[in-house]
Amino acid sequence: MTALPYLKKARPWFAEIDSTVLQQNVKRLDTAYKNFFEGRGFPKFKNRSNFTSFTYQMGVKAQGNKIYLPKLGWLRFFNSRSIPTGFTIKAATLRKRQDGWYVSIRIEDKTIPDYVKKPLNEVKASTPLGFNPERSRRVNSILGCDLGITKLVHFSDRHQIDNPRFSTNKKARRTLKIRQRRINRKVKGSKNRKKAANKVGRFHKKITDKRTAYQWSVANTIVSRKVDAIALEDLNVSGMLRRCQVKTDEKTGRFLKNGQSRKKGLNRSISDASWSDLILKIEYLAVKQGKVVIKINPKYSSQECRNCGHTDKSNRDGEKFICTECGYHEHADIGAAKTIRDRALETCIERSRNIVRGDSAKLAV
């Protein structure tokens, strides 16, 4: 921040840019270097082509289908969502996309209370047989969710939600292949190549918009269930997308097959499903409706037998689950959703018992 006055003297054209925009860019740079010193990668240089967003912190006004931006003046825009009465504009961010510029406005109304995430140990609930309800408060009902690729979500009540595969279906892959080929046939640096690349970008944006709209619909479907809590997998998606380790022959030093070519298709399907974004949407809507989201370690959830508890990789064959010990059979992903639900229930019981022990100790003193 303190270097901005010197930068403005060295570059007079900085006077044409709003001061809050410059301040936000300096904050971005500071955040990037903090991430670097904490081991999150070196900051990437932003040039004219990839610096596509900036933020105003004050001075933004909106009237109907017009918006005022400092140093730019009044501009017309498509008012897709009008600002409710009583709210004030706090900031506005402009982003350049393949089909034009978009503006997102942050608004505030201090009279409206914030959404508060309900703690797991404060949820009122009844308890099953054999457990004293006076000693503990538990979640009355939990919906277990197992995220997948063949089906996007498997529920513990045996319902399933389809996965449209927006970017990995046959039609989308063929269209992308044709349009990418057209880019490669154009001369590098030519206007026709930029036009062809812009078409590919618009196609990717169309896929992203479809996926986002579908995920909001799925998240609403999950959260609107009549349950007190939603159990989700605590997934490390970035770790799942990591490349396979390199294998070499000890004698010759030649590279051996490590399964990366097969994993490439799986990685593409995982990215298309976008589980992390879906989980964020579910958490957001759950807080608004006062429900609890419990993240459970999904380790061996689809390989553990629900009848005898035997865990073995050979228990699962695709979507089929047949226990090698007792012969119990079920849909593998639905069984995993039930296991996640049961693990979440055990978590509720354990937390409730810990609270009871703590309260009892205080009373004894």
Encode the chain (365 residues) as per-residue pLDDT tens digits: 677 888 888 988 988 999 999 999 989 989 999 999 998 888 888 888 788 999 999 999 999 899 999 999 999 999 888 888 889 999 999 999 988 999 999 999 988 877 766 666 554 434 443 444 433 345 678 999 999 999 999 999 999 999 999 999 999 999 999 999 999 999 999 999 999 999 999 999 999 999 999 999 999 999 999 888 999 999 999 889 988 888 998 888 899 888 888 889 999 999 999 999 999 999 999 988 888 899 999 999 999 998 888 898 899 988 899 998 888 999 999 999 999 999 998 888 777 676 555 444 443 33
- The DSSP bridge pattern shows strands 316-317 and 320-322 to be antiparallel
- What pLDDT score does 1 carry? 62
| From 18, 272, 304, 333, active-site residue | 333
Is 333 one of the catalytic residues?
yes
| From 228, 233, 304, 342, active-site residue | 233
- What pLDDT score does 355 carry? 54
- What pLDDT score does 121 carry? 57
What tokens were used for 247? 């294998």
Give me the helix-helix angle, 191-223 and 170-185, nearest 10°. Answer: 160
pTM above 0.75, yes or no: yes
Taking CA atoms, 237 is separated from 49, 67, 240, in Å, by 29, 39, 5
Is 109 one of the catalytic residues?
no
Is 209 one of the catalytic residues?
no
| From 18, 146, 228, 304, active-site residue | 146
- What pLDDT score does 365 carry? 31
| Measured distance CA(324)–CA(304) in Å, rounded | 11
Closest CA to 160 of 177, 145, 139: 145
- What pLDDT score does 336 carry? 93
- Rg over alpha carbons for the chain, rounded to the nearest Å, is 26
| Measured distance CA(163)–CA(165) in Å, rounded | 6
The residues, any chain, with a CB within 8 Å of residue 204's CB and separated by 6 or more, are 98, 167
Q: What are the residue ranges of helices labelled H in the chain? A: 4-10, 19-37, 170-185, 191-223, 237-240, 260-273, 275-288, 332-364
Task: Report the first-to-last Cα separation within the chain, whole angstroms.
Answer: 54
| Measured distance CA(124)–CA(43) in Å, rounded | 47
- What pLDDT score does 57 carry? 92
Tokens 């990215």 sit at which residue? 271
